[in-house]
């Protein structure tokens, strides 16, 4: 990369798939602004990560006819945009 260039990174939390629902999986991800925190379910230790964009679509989102998700309310991503 040339000087002054950078890579922007985004992360998305997807909804549980049917297999995860069947296993009664527990959510271990939390998002606040650009920080995504992962909690180890075995010992409750949390590890934060910072991304340029964080998109939450685990719940509270609806799928549009074009396949994209739209937040059902505010606070669904770092920029509040449709994703």
Going by the DSSP 8-state scheme, the letter that residue 2 receives in this structure is -
Residue from 78, 8, 68 nearest 36 by CA: 78
* Confidence (pTM): 0.62
Residue pLDDT, tens place only, 17-58: 889 889 998 888 888 888 889 999 899 999 999 999 888 777
Q: What Rg, from alpha-carbon coordinates, does the chain have?
A: 15
Q: What confidence tens digit (pLDDT) does each residue in 47-82 have?
A: 999 999 888 777 666 666 776 656 565 544 444 443
Give the SS3 label for residue 62: strand
Per-residue pLDDT, 34: 86
Alpha carbon distance 17, 9 (integer Å): 24
């Amino acid at each position: 990369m040339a000087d002054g260039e950078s890579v922007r990174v985004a992360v998305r939390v997807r909804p549980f798939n049917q297999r995860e629902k069947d296993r009664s999986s527990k959510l271990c991800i939390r998002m606040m602004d650009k920080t995504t925190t992962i909690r180890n379910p075995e010992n409750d230790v949390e590890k934060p990560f910072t991304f340029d964009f964080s998109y939450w679509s685990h719940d509270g989102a609806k799928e549009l006819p074009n396949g994209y998700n739209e937040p059902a309310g505010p606070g669904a991503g770092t920029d509040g945009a449709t994703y």
